[in-house]
Amino acid sequence: MGLAFFIGLILWGWMEFSAFIYIGGEIGALLTLLGIFVTAIVGLLLLKNQGRAVMANLKDQVTRGEAPMRSVADSISLLFGGILMLIPGYVTDAIGLVLFIPGIRTIAGFVLLKLFRNNARFTNFAAMGGGPFAPGHEPGHAPGHARSNARSHPNDMGDDIIEGEFEERSDDKKPLPPGQN
């Protein structure tokens, strides 16, 4: 996992650097730097406008009693798209812009939700509060309606439980040192 992340980070940096050099050679350094700031502002405006629409849709679905999985997927995708648009670079801006396209953002959002759901650290964190990321929850079902084989207790996450007995001692009795009974 660490090696794949390291290689991916190097490839991402190489792609961003290559795109920056190519675009800078075509339109000039000043316009290339200005383009980085403009794409960040465009990303914020897109996030603001489309985020409002997704949140309104989410609110409507919740008031109708429907599971808002599509709206949650859209909002996750918009969040990642907005973050990518804020990171300086043309490759991340292009990927972030693609995540704002309505059909693609829903598919990408469901993929991201599935990745989060399969991530043990995220699942354990989210299971503490339940919700759509809790173990046993199926997409398309309302929160709280988990599968029958789901764990029913939020602390039942495979943690070791130590059981034992204890004895209270009064303050006037001093405990004997080990080996002296």
Alpha helices, H only, the chain: 2-27, 29-63, 69-86, 90-98, 102-118, 120-127
Q: What is the pLDDT of residue 117?
A: 78
Structure tokens at 12: 């991402």
Look at 84-98, 142-156, 163-177 and tell me which has the smallest mean pLDDT: 142-156
CB count within 10 Å of CB 74 equals 25
Q: SS in 3 state form for 72-116?
A: HHHHHHHHHHHHHHHCCCHHHHHHHHHCCCHHHHHHHHHHHHHHH
- As a whole number, mean pLDDT of residues 109-113 equals 88
- As a whole number, mean pLDDT of residues 140-160 equals 50
Which among 106, 107, 131, 100 is positioned nearest to 117, based on CA atoms? 131
Q: What is the pLDDT of residue 18?
A: 93
- Domains of the chain by residue range: 33-127
Q: Over the stretch 32-76, which tens digit does the pLDDT of each residue have?
A: 999 989 988 988 888 888 888 888 888 888 888 888 888 888 888
Q: Over the stretch 3-17, which tens digit does the pLDDT of each residue have?
A: 888 999 999 999 999
Distance, in Å, from the CA atom of 178 to the CA atom of 123, rounded to the nearest integer, reads 45
Residue 159 banded pLDDT, cuts 50, 70, 90? low
Report the chain's mean pLDDT, rounded to a whole number: 78
Distance, in Å, from the CA atom of 92 to the CA atom of 85, rounded to the nearest integer, reads 6
Angle made by CA atoms 71, 144, 160, in degrees to the nearest 5:
115
Q: What is the pLDDT of residue 149?
A: 44
Residue 157 banded pLDDT, cuts 50, 70, 90? low
Residue 171 backbone phi and psi in degrees, to 5: -70, -25
What's at 144, amino acid-wise? G
Structure tokens at 156: 């039942």
